[in-house]
Structure 1
Amino acid sequence: MSLSDTARTQGATPATQRRDPRQIPDRLTTRGQRVLKSWEALLLLVGIAIFVANCFASPYFLSPWSLSDATFNFTEKAMIAFAMALLIISGEIDLSVAAIIALASTAMGAAATAGFGTPVLVGIGLGTGLLCGAFNGVLVTRLGLPSIVVTIGTMSLFRGLSYIVLGDGAYRGYPDGFAFFGQGYVFWVVSFEFVLFAVLAVIFTVLLHKTNFGRAVFSVGNNATAALFSGIRVPRVKMILFLLTGLMSGVAAICLTSRLGSTRPSIGLGMELEVVTMVVLGGVSILGGSGSIPGIVIAAFVLGLLTFGLGLLNVPGIVISIFTGALLIGVIALPRLIAKGRR
């Protein structure tokens, strides 16, 4: 019997077995299958389908300037959604983000009327967002109040303050340099807002998925009591997340006010619904404990392209709002229906 026959008869040991170099390792195959079966992959296919449908809806859609305009439908909301995703993953929520935009915009408008320049206006916008986030965070982490109740209350409080200051009026006359944040372009059709959105997407991806703080956020969302006993300072983590959400609302207020060139107390009205929809559509569990920033990025493009396409078809804004609300309910209900179907 030859040596090769002996090997076939007795079987080669693991140490002597040779893998076909053309064969994909099991680990990579499993990872690839997991990616293809993920919610993000499905969402990406939906986004591609909406993009193709928009191409047929209007012959002007593929124009570079038209595509650039489409990004304004989601960049400001996505900036808030990045921070909101972390907050919802931790088991909390902030429904006052649109009202924070209104209050921050009102504060910037008052400062612009008083003659302050662009750097001061930016500082006031960011500072107002931080203060509002701190107020929400203290009520939740120090007093132990439910975040959904607190932020429903502050949603009325912050916007009410804007109505008290402005009434039926509006602030205009912002400095010329302030217009760059919402209307400026970094290169050709690439707007400053889109560049800022991309930079924030990278920052929040690293923060949530590559740092100890991100792991702490997931731990708090899965089991806050176990996280506390494992040494994580749960109130501190949640306070930071409320501050971060307020700060991102301030950033969105700067961009939105700059793009519109004026401030009214109704600015950003209803935006909190679209932000939460974007977060949940991106795969973040509304119950906390799971989610990803790449999913938020894809969801932002999907919602942005969808609303832009409906606008091209002259669909009224109220119908788009109804559709957004229905989409939010559907995305929340779908996993439960699938789970019940499997059982």
Structure 2
Amino acid sequence: MTDVARHIPDRLDSPAARLLKSWEVLLLAVAVAIFIANSLASPYFLNAWNLSDATFNFTEKAMIAFAMALLIISGEIDLSVASIIALASTAMGAAAQFDVGVVTLVLIGIGTGLICGAFNGVLVTGMGLPSIVVTIGTMSLFRGISYIVLGDQVYKGYPSAFAYFGQGYVWWVISFEFVLFAALAVIFGILLHKTNFGRAVYAIGNNPTGALFSGIRVRRVKFILFLLTGLMSGIAAICLTSRLGSTRPSIAFGWELEVVTMVVLGGVSILGGSGSIPGVVIAAFVMGLVTFGLGLLNVPGIVMSIFIGLLLIAVIALPRLWQMWRFW
């Protein structure tokens, strides 16, 4: 009698086997491959300062992506994040014209982000409106206010000390932005994976009605998530405005697509209920390496936009195609 090999279900695999089969490990392999390809394609890529500059391609977006990941896991989305950056930057720029201090500018940026996040949260959780519709509306509203205030003008004249947030270095080639990105990754990783709040987010994303009957305050949790997304957009606005040294109403235009792509590429289900912060961190590096590598090769920005759009479609479609192929 011959032995018949049986497939062991994933749930019976060892933790090491499950880790090797995870999306995060696959994504990490892709990041390593892109790093090697970039080093071979351009002789300038491995320069320490160039690698440091490469981090600026993703740190600000990744800060928002951490909060966006929790929001999408809960079954909601916020497409107004880039417009929140524009409005927060405009508010800081207007205040800078009155020679306010750095602390005041930071508080204005964070406060504007929180107010915008609260506004989205009230409309979604308080009035029961679909988040995708609400945030498409506020995306136009927030950036429209920036255009009304600024028009074709530019706000400059920020205090010299304000430049540290977007241009300063903590040690050698390690920028302040990168340190902040790493700290936020740890904070959001603990929040999502090690706390009751994180477990509530997963429960809501998988079954909001069941979560409600389990005693989870669904609307309250979702409102906090919109606040967090607004907060991180405000922090990103501080870093981006500091790095650029000026404010235009078109600042961060199109970033909402890149943030969502980063989140979905990191393994967060667009339908909610699953995903991880480590996946988003690795996805941030992948997108940063790709865009920086293309930049070193003088690839036009429009080509990068096309690539990001195709990447988003591919990441959303691949799991579905894989499922169809398995049952074909």
**TM-score (normalised: structure 1):** 0.92
Q: CA deviation at 1:28?
A: 11
1:304 is displaced (CA, Å) by: 0.2
Encode CA deviations 1:110-159: one digit per residue, 9 max, x unaligned.
Answer: 00001111000000000000000000000000100000000000000000
Shift of 1:60: 1.1
The answer for the alignment partner of 1:67 in structure 2 is: 51
Using the TM superposition, give the Cα deviation of residue 57 of structure 1 relative to its aligned residue in structure 2, in angstroms. 1.4
| C-alpha separation in 1, matches of 2:294 and 2:38 | 9
Which residue among 156, 161, 169 is the counterpart of 2:140? 156
Distance in 1, Cα, partners of 2:313 & 2:14: 32
Equivalent position amino acid for 1:290 in 2: S
Quick check: 1:166 aligned with 2:160?
no
Taking only aligned residues, the RMSD between alpha carbons, in angstroms, comes to 1.0
Q: SS in structure 2 opposite 1:186?
A: strand
**Aligned-pair distance for 1:66?**
0.5
**Aligned with 1:45 (options 18, 21, 29):** 29
Q: Deviations over 1:241-269 (max 9, x none)?
A: 00000000000000000000000000000
| 2:182 counterpart of 1:198 | yes
- Aligned AA (2:317): A
- How much does 1:227 deviate? 0.3
The letter for the 2-side match of 1:95 is L
CA distance in 2, matches of 1:144, 1:28: 41
Q: Which residue of 2 aligns with 1:337?
A: 321
Give the percent of matched residue pairs that are identical in Structure 1 and Structure 2: 80
The aligned runs of 1:9-88 (5 Å cut-off) are 30-88=14-72
- Structure 2 residue 201 is matched with structure 1 residue 217: yes
**Alignment pair present for 1:94 and 2:94:** no
Change (3 A) 1:340 1:50: same
The corresponding residue for 1:10 is: none
Q: 2:168 matched to which residue of 1?
A: 184
Rg (Cα) greater in structure: 1
Report whether the alignment pairs 1:327 with 2:325.
no
- Give the alignment of 1:114-133 within 5 angstroms: 114-133=98-117
What SS class does the counterpart of residue 218 from structure 1 fall into? helix
**Quick one: distance in 2 between partners of 1:29 and 1:99?**
45
For residues 239 and 143 of structure 2, the distance between their equivalents in structure 1, rounded to whole angstroms, comes to 18
CA offsets, 1:175-231, max 9 Å, x none? 011000000000000000000000000000000000000000000000000000000
Aligned partner of 1:293 in structure 2 is 277
> What code does the residue aligned with 2:114 have?
L
Aligned partner of 2:128 among 139, 144, 153: 144
Unaligned 5+ segments in structure 2 are: 1-10
Q: Secondary structure at the match of 1:252?
A: helix
How many residues are paired up?
Answer: 317
